[in-house]
Amino acid sequence: MLRYWANPISQKRIALAISKLSRKKVAEYLGVTVEAVRNWERNSLIVSDGIGGKGETLYSSDDLGRICAICMLLQVGYSIASIHRSISMYDKGHAELVAFTLNNPEYHNLISVGDHWLYELNKLMKAAQEIPLIIDEMKNI
């Protein structure tokens, strides 16, 4: 489905006969909460230029196709970070790399995560080494 969505020819075929949908209507259509749609906006997964008469965000049929793909990916267990990475490739004009990017985190992201884990493990080791000292202090109280 992701490759289908990212294909520009398919985009024309899935255009819906709608003008614009509100955040609430999109949430109802997908069976998710309005807050879920807002969360996707906050995480830059979806951006819409449509503004209604009351200042509310409105989504086009193109936006809805993207939102459906995001919802499907979340349902099958992909993280928001991996979806964001994949959709960013699409936005940069690399539709052919959407599926590949989804399953292959960038090397520098892996290094960053590894560094973070090493830092946290070192903190825990130092804290664990202090436990016997704390116990000795408590015995003397």
Q: Residues 19-68: pLDDT tens digits? A: 788 999 999 988 999 999 999 999 989 988 888 888 888 998 888 888 99
| Mean pLDDT along residues 72-91 | 88
State how far the Cα of 30 lies from the Cα of 58, in Å rounded to an integer. 15
Reduced to 3 states, what is the DSSP secondary structure of residue 58? strand
Contact 90, 102 (CB under 8 A): no
Tell me what pLDDT residue 14 has: 44
User: What CATH topology corresponds to 2-104?
Assistant: Multidrug-efflux Transporter Regulator; Chain: A; Domain 2 (1.10.1660)
* C-alpha to C-alpha distances, 112 to 56, 78, 116, 121, 140, nearest whole angstrom: 38, 19, 6, 14, 43
Beta strand 21-22 with 57-59: parallel, antiparallel or unpaired?
Answer: antiparallel
State how far the Cα of 55 lies from the Cα of 53, in Å rounded to an integer. 6
State how far the Cα of 87 lies from the Cα of 103, in Å rounded to an integer. 12
* pLDDT band (50, 70, 90) for residue 112: low
- Give the rounded percent of residues in the chain with a pLDDT score beyond 90: 32
| Domain spans, the chain | 2-104, 106-141
